[in-house]
Amino acid sequence: MSSELSKVIICDEDEASGLAFMIRDLLVENIGSFKTRAKVMDRLNGTVALNTADRNRAVSLNFANGVVEIEDGLKTDVPLISSDWKLFAKVASGQVSPIKSFLNKDMSVHICPPYAKNASLVLGTGFVLSVPKSFYEKHEAYELNVNDNPSVINRQRLSPNIFALKNMRQILALLVLITICILVVKVIKVAYDRRCNSQETLTKVKGDKKWRSTLTNLVY
């Protein structure tokens, strides 16, 4: 666990928010329990901001060289994932997948240029923050054991079963598909802009020729 803690760092820990600690604990648990999450995090490079609009809290996740620094505050010109505090808490406890929340539009995502890189960064962040569904019991995020004191509830995670390869392939296929779609849209946009520029140039040339022809007629 100490090696995972060294990869997930909270900046200014004494003044850090509850959201920062919640995300830190989730990342430490995920990269320690799931090799696929750890491998994906090692490849992430960039910053993603998480914002809880209802609590006016935000943190920025700075990924670089297999390490993530969690910093309170909302950075500008970076991809932004927004939702309410309750949903982030469910994500942190494994009750909800962030990728599923994206698809259901429970989380709003703002992606800024460069679009292909930042789209991959957001999806990779969602994958690292997600907890496999089959890691838990049927409909509960944790197995609840009530001790002699009914008010004390211990949450124990269950052992993972061999499921992940299929789910990981589906998620990676989705990442690749979205990245390809973004690249295709960018190529179409560049081609359209070039066509518009060429038409403007052609119109200008034709106008110049017409003006010169008129001037010549007037002179002669």
Mean pLDDT by 10 residues, the chain (220 residues): 82 91 91 91 95 89 95 92 87 76 83 87 88 55 41 39 49 70 77 75 58 52
CA gap 5, 177 in Å, rounded: 33
- Is the residue at 155 inside a domain? yes
User: Looking at the domain assignment, is residue 34 inside a domain?
Assistant: yes
| 205 part of a folded domain | no
Residue 167's CATH number = 3.30.1050.10
| Closest of 35, 28, 84 to residue 55, by C-alpha | 84
Q: Which domain holds residue 65?
A: 2-189
Q: Considering the domain boundaries, does residue 98 fall inside one?
A: yes
**Are 20 and 53 spatial neighbours (Cβ–Cβ below 8 Å)?**
no
What pLDDT, in 10s, does the model give residues 108-140?
888 888 888 888 898 899 889 887 765 554 444
Per the structure, the count of domains in the chain is 1
pTM recorded for the entire structure:
0.61
Q: Is residue 198 part of a domain?
A: no
Residue 197 lies in a domain: no
CA 199, chain centre distance (Å): 39
